[in-house]
């Protein structure tokens, strides 16, 4: 079982200095890659090995379980890749249902998830923290002199429906705007003929460790993030705001996705239809120098969201141990 992004984003990026191992004595110690213990409290972040998860359901101590997706809702989300949906449904049946019922405290990563688990006796909301500062707008300096405009979609297999949604949008934008380049992450070609376009680049997925190193060196101008209006996608955290902020991209988001509204004038909000995305992005690309100001606006809000001190205070309260 490898360490997953969730473990870093919601715990280790802020509290890793409090986690010990065989040769380091700290108030929190590891049980597995994504599980920890302090006193009589066990913390499970999304998932770990079958043996660890089974033991946590049966153990007598306090259990804190962090949930970062509407895992049960994946069953009704037809837009997800069938294999990904099947794996989530299998995890729900084998572990997730029992863990949510057994947990003394449920930690969730969005207000939608908090409402979904309102039946639980103790639900707490935590927000992500990245290991990177939010980028400035210096990489926009050359745009006013005719340099290329680089758009990106950073996502995993759970975001593949966003890529396929973008296919006709990108087709038209690439034809209209010769300066536009597009990069996306996927194990397979998802854009049909566009995957052979000279200004389209598909990157194979990386391990989280490799991706964490890679993203430190990257800069983009626009980050595309269309989300189908389904329960699974509505439950997503605001993590993508920070991820695009880390690469200096102005995010283009589905207008129904509430976290994007926190950036106010620092984000591009697009309606539900592909034509609306095409028209909105065409207007943006017609005046690309405005993007630098939008990044600056967004960064002010993102710096506040990406505050490890807030997350440390949260875990100090939940785990009843000093995480400062």
Task: Report the distance separating Cα 295 and Cα 153, nearest Å.
Answer: 17
* Residue 282 within a domain: yes
Whether 324 is covered by a domain: the verdict is no
Domain co-membership, 104 together with 144: no
Note the pLDDT tens digit of each residue in 253-294: 999 999 999 998 999 999 999 999 999 999 999 999 999 999
pLDDT band at 22 (very low <50, low <70, confident <90, very high): low
Are 107 and 216 in the same domain? Answer: no
17: containing domain? 5-129+308-319
- The whole-angstrom separation of Cα 30 and Cα 11 is 12
Instruction: Answer whether residue 2 shows pLDDT above 80.
Output: no
The pLDDT tens digits for 193-249 are: 999 999 999 999 999 999 999 999 999 999 999 998 888 999 999 999 999 999 999
Residues in the chain: 324
What pLDDT sits at residue 1? 67
CA 216 – CA 323 distance, rounded (Å): 26
pLDDT at 213: 95
The total number of structural domains that make up the chain: 2
**Domain membership flag for residue 142:** yes
What was the pLDDT predicted at 109?
98
243 shares its domain with 262: yes
265 and 314 share a domain?
no
Residues 225 and 197 grouped into a single domain: yes
Q: pLDDT grade, residue 84 (50/70/90)?
A: confident
Cα-to-chain-centroid distance, residue 110: 11
Q: What is the CATH number of the domain that holds 179?
A: 3.40.50.2000
> In angstroms, rounded to a whole number, what is the distance separating the alpha carbons of residues 274 and 272?
7
pLDDT of residue 58: 96
In a domain, 154, yes or no: yes
The total of other beta-carbon atoms located within 10 Å of residue 216's CB is 11
Flag whether pLDDT at 23 surpasses 70.
no
* pLDDT band for position 149 (cuts 50, 70, 90): very high
In a domain? residue 290: yes
- pTM assigned to the model: 0.95
Confidence of residue 32 (pLDDT cuts 50, 70, 90): very high
If asked whether residues 112 and 149 sit together in one domain, one would say: no
Domain match, 270 and 145 both: yes
Q: Kindly state whether residues 53 and 114 are assigned to the same domain.
A: yes
Does residue 281 share a domain with residue 244? yes
My answer on whether 279 and 315 are in the same domain is: no
Q: Are 28 and 109 members of one domain? A: yes
Residue 168's pLDDT band, with cuts at 50, 70 and 90, is: very high
Q: Are residues 164 and 111 in the same domain?
A: no
């Amino acid at each position: 079982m490898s360490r997953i992004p969730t473990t870093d984003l919601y715990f280790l990026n802020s509290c890793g200095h409090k986690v010990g191992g065989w040769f380091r004595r700290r108030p929190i110690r590891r049980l597995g890659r994504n599980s920890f213990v302090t006193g009589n409290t066990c913390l499970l972040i999304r998932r770990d090995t079958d043996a660890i998860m089974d033991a946590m359901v049966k153990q007598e101590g306090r259990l804190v379980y962090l949930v970062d997706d509407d895992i049960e809702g994946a069953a009704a989300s037809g837009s997800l890749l069938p294999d990904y949906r099947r794996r989530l449904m299998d995890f729900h049946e084998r572990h997730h249902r029992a863990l949510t019922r057994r947990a003394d405290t449920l930690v969730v990563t969005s207000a939608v998830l908090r409402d979904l688990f309102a039946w639980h006796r103790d639900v707490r909301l935590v927000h992500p923290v990245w290991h990177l500062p939010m980028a400035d707008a210096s990489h926009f300096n050359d745009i006013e002199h005719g340099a290329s405009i680089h758009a990106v979609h950073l996502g995993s297999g759970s975001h593949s429906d966003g890529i396929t949604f973008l296919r006709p949008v990108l087709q038209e934008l690439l034809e209209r705007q010769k300066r536009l380049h597009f990069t996306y992450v996927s194990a397979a070609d998802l854009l049909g003929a566009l995957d052979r376009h000279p200004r389209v680049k598909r990157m194979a997925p990386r391990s989280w460790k490799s991706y964490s190193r890679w993203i430190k060196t990257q800069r983009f101008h626009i980050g595309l993030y269309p989300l189908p209006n389904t329960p699974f996608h509505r439950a997503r955290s605001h993590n993508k705001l920070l991820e695009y902020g880390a690469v200096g991209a102005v995010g283009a988001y589905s207008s129904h996705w509430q976290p994007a509204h926190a950036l106010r004038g620092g984000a591009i909000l697009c309606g539900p239809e592909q034509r609306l995305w095409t028209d909105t992005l065409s207007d943006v690309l017609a005046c690309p120098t405005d993007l630098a100001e939008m990044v600056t606006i967004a960064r002010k809000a993102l710096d506040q969201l990406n505050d490890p001190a807030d997350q440390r205070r949260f875990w100090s309260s939940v785990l009843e141990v000093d995480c400062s």
